[in-house]
Chain A
Amino acid sequence: MSRLHVDWTRCDGHGACTELLPELLATDDWGYPLSRTGERDPEIPAELTRHAEHAVHTCPLLALRLTRHPR
């Protein structure tokens, strides 16, 4: 199972990921992605894998990664 990792040093709150993955990500007070589960790097359900990959490729600041690390 993959997880979605945000590199906060790169993220500028552009918002592409929250539009592509509304099931996983909300928007915080300032426009930055906010994990809906509260997990630091939310787990990606299998049915959202393609959307998550799309979000990773769409992020204009290359701030998203799919990872397999457990946290």
Chain B
Amino acid sequence: MTLTASTELTRRLLAPTADTPLPRWDLDTLVREATASGLSGRGGGGFPTAAKLRALAGRGGVVVGNAMEGEPLSRKDAVLLTTSPALVLDGLRLVGAAVGARRVVLALGPSLPEVTSDEVEVLRLSGGFVAGQETALVNQLDDGPAVPRDPLVRVTTRGVGGRPTLVLNAETLAHLALIARHGAAWFRSVGPPEEPGTSLFTVSGSVAHPGVVEAARGTRLSEVLATAAPRPFSAVLVGGFHGAWVPVAAAEVRLDAPSLAPYGASVGAGILHVLSSDSCPLIAAAEFTSWLAAQSAGQCGPCINGLPRLADSLTRLAQRVSDPTLPAEINRLQRLVTGRGACAHPDGTARLVGSTLRVFADHVVEHIAGRCTLGGAR
């Protein structure tokens, strides 16, 4: 397909920032402005930021900026902390002061740039795909291993050191710093009313110019991709390894929750991975799933056992093993692991696999018939 030339994308986070003073907000003001802005978390979960702030059980807790970026297809937090580190630190200072935090931490994953601050405790933590999950981050800050905890007691009630803990993605914090300076109405002036503001998108895969771009929520997928000059493609993995495929026929879809819902996708952390028309989608998905299975923290039975089985079955399908029961078995396994772990890893892996079988249903038939001649990702 032909992509139209990019229209002007909105630059806020990645624009040069004026060094205007940051207001000092109390918690009521912060919650009110976060609510008015409609800001949702930019780390993947998409949870309303105001609701998270309201859930914080008390003062004297811990605020953590999450820049772990354990998703290999994401670079947006690294780019944000290279281009506009002050915005992320401002967001941390703003929230830390408002909630009366005794500790304000910026948690950097292994591949993130160096950040220095006099006011924020900057820590370099060990990484891995699940290390950025909220409870795994809390565990690591408590000198434990970077593995998730049972989420029954929320970290906003009992987190780091047993204290109420607020974990916010680095990009979410940067948006808060801009909202503090320019106001909620300004934030809402781009993007759909139910999902306002901009997001950072990491475009990768079969494109001439991979990289990070900022665009309003609700921008068309094709417009964001055009900035990276995609080669002919069959589908785009939206939301990363825990995401879902949008087929090329739907490349005009808007990047917001209601538009992506029919594909089982969400903007998530803004990952857009382009699959070449020359690459077999089942080989790609099997490779991703095998990688995800190896990323299990090894704590929860259904994840330890189910993800390798899921990856094996999908790999057999990708290898054109002539077994017509494979799709049903893969679907059974992806349903079997869903909702049965301490973190979102089995659910996210199941989402990718389920999407693969739905979006590439015709291609699955080709594989069972032994007819696919496409190779791995290129």
Contacts and interface: CB of A to CB of B under 8 A. Distances in A.
B171 to A, nearest CB: 27
Contact of A8 (B302, B309, B336): B302
Contact of A7 (B150, B306, B309): B150
B339 A11 contact: no
Nearest to A30: B305
A-side interface mostly: loop
Given A32-B340, A40-B339, A9 B305 contact: no
B299 interface: yes
A23 to B, nearest CB: 19
A37 to B, nearest CB: 11
B-side interface mostly: loop
B152 A8 contact: no
B336 to A, nearest CB: 6
Given A29-B336, A40-B339, A8 B305 contact: no
A46 B164 CA distance: 33
Q: How large is the interface on A (under 10, 10 to 19, 20 to 34, 35 or more residues)?
A: 20 to 34
A39 to B, nearest CB: 8
Nearest to B301: A32
Interface string B137-162: 00000000001111010000000000
Contacts of A12: 301
A17 to B, nearest CB: 13
Nearest to B299: A9
Contacts of A60: none
B342 interface: yes
Indicate the member of B302, B306, B341 with the most A CB atoms within 10 Å. Answer: B302
A12 B302 CA distance: 10
A51 interface: no
A58 to B, nearest CB: 18
B157 to A, nearest CB: 11
B27 interface: no
Given A28-B336, A29-B336, A13 B152 contact: no
A35 B301 CA distance: 14
12 contacts: A6-B340, A9-B149, A9-B300, A28-B302, A32-B301, A32-B302, A34-B336, A34-B340, A38-B339, A65-B152, A67-B152, A69-B152
9 tightest Cβ-Cβ pairs between the two chains A and B: A8-B300, A7-B150, A40-B339, A32-B301, A30-B305, A9-B299, A9-B342, A8-B342, A8-B341
